[in-house]
Structure 1
Amino acid sequence: MSGLRVIKPGPLSLLQDAGRFGWQHLGVSPAGPMDPLAMAWANRLLGNPFGCPVLEIALGGVELEAENTLWVALAGADMPLDVDGEPRRNWSRFRLEAGQRLQVGFARSGQRTYLAMADGIRAEPVLGSVACQLREGLGGLGGEGAKLAEGDLLQGGAADFPRGASVPWPWQPDYKAAQLMRVLLGGDAASFAEEEARAFFEQPWQLSPQSDRMGTRLQGAPILAPQRQWSQGVVSGAIQVPPDGQPIVLMADRQTMGGYPILGWVHPLDLGRLAQCAANQVLRFTPMSLEDAQEELREFYRFFGR
């Protein structure tokens, strides 16, 4: 068994796996990674199955000490990485010797990076998952929904590799680029006035600082939503339009029911890019077909072996 001792936990570092599914009828959020693509690459670099538990590091500021020789992989936001002062590359796997310290600096672009260990980080599942959900007190290292703390021990497998490896640069997302999010129209879209739905796609939106793992809030010229008198089940990526006309995109820690009208859903893979956007970043949205989204998701899951 390999281990990383937590010296500095950072502002918000959470254990996540593919998510907690099968409990939404009881109001339990699925949680899981905010950026599934970055998480999938971190696991792939170590030969882990899709959805193996990883550490989701928000913003950075983490320091970990290896208790024995082990391999780690990191993928996601552009955070400076070094081992005992020697720089390491992001989107890569590398070896840590016993006693060496891995420092993860604060993000220069993007918001979250993912640290994987061989065979996944060990923790006892709660309702079938180790995904940490702070609001509901589920998952994490101790099973009670707590974020990483100083002194915690991250345990993983002891696999060995002949050399390091990196994700080819064309496959690494550019979090600094202007972000265009693709949308699948549906839900209550037909009930929106044509000019209101068109306004959503024609104008730029700013990412509100009041965004978190539960939902991403957009700021712009308000759009008028139709009235709806009932609540219904919701999924990640749903674009809700509340009475103030400022849309909310539901994210990993979303609620399971909602009463606001839904204009559509952000493409599941674009949600990861959305989760990497900083406050006040300008965003635009464009419609896409269900068939194109399904084909892209099939390709994604085939590649990562889900």
Structure 2
Amino acid sequence: MSVKVIQPGLLSLLQDGGRLGQHRIGLTNGGPLDPEAFHTCNRLLQNPEGSTAIEVSFGGLQLEAQVDTFICLTGAIMTLRINQQEQPRWEVLPVTAGDSIHIEFAEQGCRGYLGIAGGFDVEPSFTSTATVMREGIGGLNGDKLAAGDVLPCPAGEIRQRLYLEEHLQPKYEDITTVRVIPGYQQKHFNRYQQRRFFSHGYTVSDRCDRMGYRLEGPAIECDIEGILSEGICFGAIQIPADGQPIVLLNDRQTIGGYPKIGAALSLDCARLAQLRPGGQVHFAPITQHAAHNALHLANSFQQRLTFKERRA
């Protein structure tokens, strides 16, 4: 009962909900860069929350089913084909042993999530199956998927053919606004530098990965060159010596010594992680109170999100 990797694509990683509570031993979170698409995939498949799925970056993944089961693809616009026939995304689809599954390269966005009924059956490492290549943990061997890998999965129990209506599916653009909660080091950036940061656009550089997104644009100056290394939160926006912001994401280091102008709202980090090199980013300040409200509203929307069922 498994799925075999024929071609792994540019970067395909097994991810669950993330490796939480392990910073004290130097391990970062991992987990999906776009939690909304990841969790919706598992909800559509009626899987337990956080079940292991494949995060497909940029596309190119080809698999062969070796068991009768159900799959679902969410996230970036990547054409999905089963036995060369194009299939809908954001929908639960049956596959049978011997079927080929092909995810083509992304047309918009860059992170897709391929889930399977019951989730992939992978042994946890430090409480999680999330793959963090820098640390060599999670997944099958702490590394990205490779041709010939065999991904165990449970027997495919019958699933409702649920789907998410198109008007409710997220829209992925080449430009996004990231809301920023100020941090205690913001005082080290004078008012002119803060205005400069929030009033200009930045471009996603080609040095963007699961650790963080390096941006290119107007350089930001700080009145301190470095700080004693300290814990780094998800979404922290570091300003290194060259003045070019780095937004730290799931696979970030657990400590660092660059000054930080603030932290990106977690909701917006998902949209940022869907940008490809050349994408445009604008920053907007937000209070802690407004950030809490935004998170509560987003959680409420997800809880109220309902699916349709495809009838045979």
Q: Which category describes the TM-score, using the shorter chain as reference length?
A: over 0.9
Equivalent residue, structure 2, for 1:134: 133
| Conserved 8 A contact 2:46-2:159 | no
Post-superposition shift, 1:264?
1.0
Contact 2:117 2:159 in 1 (8 A): no
Q: What are the equivalent positions in structure 2 for 1:24-173 lying under 5 Å apart?
A: 24-141=23-140, 144-157=141-154, 158-162=156-160, 164-173=161-170
**Offset of residue 139 of structure 1:** 0.6
* Counterparts of 2:159 and 2:198, CA distance in 1: 47
Give the 5 Å matches for 1:286-297. 286-297=284-295
Aligned residue in 2 for 1:193:
190
Aligned length: 301
Q: Percent identity?
A: 39
Q: Matches of 2:183 and 2:43 in 1, distance apart?
A: 33
Q: Equivalent of 2:213, from 213, 216, 220?
A: 216
Contact 2:45/2:162 (8 A) holds in 1: no
Uncovered stretches (5+) of structure 1, i.e. residues with no partner: none
Q: Are 1:226 and 2:216 matched, yes or no?
A: no
RMSD of aligned residue pairs (Cα, Å): 1.6
Q: CA deviation at 1:271?
A: 0.7
- Partners of 2:288 and 2:169 lie apart in 1 by 25
The alignment partner of 2:208 has SS state of coil
- Per the TM alignment, residue 179 of structure 1 is displaced from its structure 2 partner at its CA by 1.1
Aligned equivalents of 1:52, 1:295: Cα separation in 2: 28
Give yes or no for the alignment of 1:242 onto 2:240: yes
Following superposition, the deviation at residue 270 of structure 1 comes to 0.9
User: Which position in structure 2 is the counterpart of 1:17?
Assistant: 16
Deviation at 1:282, TM superposition (A): 1.4
8 Å CA contact retained: 1:226, 1:261: no
Does structure 1 conserve the Cα–Cα contact (< 8 Å) formed by 2:174 and 2:279? no
Alignment partner of 1:76: what SS?
Answer: strand
Q: What TM-score, normalized to structure 2?
A: 0.92
Provide the secondary structure at the position in 2 that maps to 1:47.
coil
* Length-normalised TM-score, structure 1: 0.93
Equivalent residue of 2:178, what SS?
strand
Measure, in 2, the Cα distance between the counterparts of 1:177 and 1:171: 19
In 2, Cα distance between equivalents of 1:140 and 1:56? 11
Q: Distance in 2 between matches of 1:220 and 1:245?
A: 9
Aligned-partner residue type, residue 3 of structure 1: S
C-alpha contact (below 8 Å) 1:83/1:103 kept by paired residues: yes
What letter matches 2:149 in structure 1? D
Alpha-carbon shift at residue 156 of structure 1 (Å): 2.5
Conserved? CA contact 1:40–1:304, under 8 Å: no
Change (3 A) 1:169 1:280: same
C-alpha separation in 2, matches of 1:299 and 1:67 = 41
SS at match of 2:70: strand
The alignment partner of 1:263 has SS state of: strand
Q: Does the aligned pair in 2 maintain the 1:16–1:56 contact within 8 Å?
A: yes
**Residue range with higher mean Cα deviation, 72-81 or 184-193:** 184-193
Seen in structure 2, the aligned counterparts of structure 1 residues 171 and 187 have a Cα distance that, compared at 3 Å, is farther
> Secondary structure of the residue that 1:92 maps to in structure 2?
coil
Measured against aligned partners, the alpha-carbon deviations of 1:82-128 in whole angstroms (never above 9, x if no partner) come to 11111111222211122111110011111110011122211111110
8 Å Cα contact 1:77/1:111 also seen in 2: yes
Task: Identify the residue that residue 202 of structure 1 maps to in structure 2.
Answer: 199
Cα separation, 2, equivalents of 1:254 and 1:172: 28
Q: Which moved more, 1:203-212 or 1:26-35?
A: 26-35
Q: Deviations over 1:189-217 (max 9, x none)?
A: 12210110111110010001011111100
